[in-house]
Amino acid sequence: MDAFTMVIMACVAGEAHCATSRVSEMGFTTVQACEARIDDIARTITREFGKRPEFKGRQVTYDVSCMDRAQLAAKFGIASSDT
């Protein structure tokens, strides 16, 4: 069974760049297992942003995807892989 990879992008309103993170674990053997981690990671990122006074009162938006190896390759335009 193929493992899933979670890609999360967090954007703070008014900031030019977003924070991104990719989490790939063998425990992500279903989309549900991958999605189960999303809330914890988003909560941690939001807590870290909350510690920065310059971000106070600014909206944070998240874009999260859980993809298997083929979906990840297609999304990022990877034609073939040895892994």
pLDDT digits (tens, 9 = 90+) for 10-38: 999 999 999 888 877 766 677 777 777 77
C-alpha distances in Å from residue 31, one per residue of 1, 11, 62, 67: 12, 23, 18, 8
Grouping H, G, I as helix, E, B as strand and the rest as coil, residue 55 is helix
Residue 19: count of CB within 10 angstroms of its CB? 15
1 pLDDT higher than 60: no
d(CA 7, CA 20): 7
